Amino acid sequence: MSGFILLDKVAGETSFKALFPLKRVFCTKRVGHAGTLDLRASGLIIAATGRATRLLPYVEAKDKCYTFRLHLGYETDTLEWDGDVVEQGAALTVSRAALEAVLPQFTGDIDQVPPRYCAVKIDGRRASDWAERGKDFEMKPRRIHIESLKVVGEGGITEGCSGKEFATFDIECVCSKGTYVRALGRDIARALGTCGCVSQIRRHRIGKVSVESAVHGEDLTREHLKPVEQVLDFPVVKLDADQMAVIRKGNWIPWREPVEGAERQQGRGDDCERLVFAADANGNVLSVCRYEPGRICPKIYLGEDE
């Protein structure tokens, strides 16, 4: 069975472990997910089974929406609220207006240095593995895109803080793939003249898909499997049996009709390919194709083998 599953990951569970219910329910090891969430983060993971796993890069390219709590006054090794304190700053007076005044510095295309505790590979190993072993290494900046940042609350309390905070703010962030919310919190705090860390990271949305449509792993059933066209918004073209047979064999077909929506860029980072879903006469999506003026070319076949 191929398709997407929308999971609401709980904090304290790895993204890898969150996939275990899929393997059990769908009796397959062919599963994957788009966009790893930190162990302590919660929220939406879009997973896939079967041949739909080949579409995960297009899901991962979509913008994402997070909320997180920024703790001002101390910084930890993990950039989380309960890590080992590496810097304790003096108490300052930081107003909501002052925070909102620095947020525009972090919108648009920016360079971000990932946290030392992350999955970025350094000499073939995760940076977090080197950090846990006390190794000295350099994290290089990466270009990311922050679409928007806004303050949605202040003064919230998170239990278990390892340092002394003087203020907390809840922030909503819409950003590109590759963005580390923990690093964003660190950099915002530094722009305010202090240090900081984060807690309560939650991913609410990937593309147009909301966590409100997701299910917890323990409640997963086969009925939660979603057709690929409900998650990716590629235009759908219907083909007759002869046309689909040509596509199935890896050959292109002539196509003179305009395809509404195919001119749009299909997400950030996919070289502006004009992608469409090819469906059979019954509306079943069987292939992802590339639309070009005058023809449709096969890219990824999603149907079952004959």
| 217 three-class SS | helix
Of the candidates 8, 38, 63, 187, the residue annotated as catalytic is 38
CB atoms within 10 A of CB 270: 12
Q: Report which residue type is found at 123.
A: D
Q: How many residues does the chain have?
A: 306
Helix intervals (H) in the chain: 15-18, 20-26, 56-60, 96-102, 127-132, 181-191, 241-248
Maximum distance among all alpha carbons in the chain?
Answer: 72
Q: Measured between alpha carbons, how far is residue 232 from residues 33, 133, 211, 236 in Å? A: 14, 41, 15, 11
Say if residues 146 and 175 touch (Cβ distance below 8 Å).
yes
Say if residues 188 and 173 touch (Cβ distance below 8 Å).
no
Q: Measured between alpha carbons, how far is residue 275 from residues 85, 257, 280 in Å? A: 48, 15, 17
Annotated catalytic, 38? yes
Beta-strand relationship, 196-206 and 285-292: unpaired
Q: Which residue has the tokens 């983060």?
A: 41
Q: Measured between alpha carbons, how far is residue 172 from residues 42, 48, 97, 235 in Å? A: 14, 27, 16, 30
Q: What is the per-residue DSSP string for 52-97?
A: GGGGHHHHHTS-EEEEEEEEESEEESSSBTTS-EEEEPPP----HH
By annotation, the residues acting in catalysis are 38
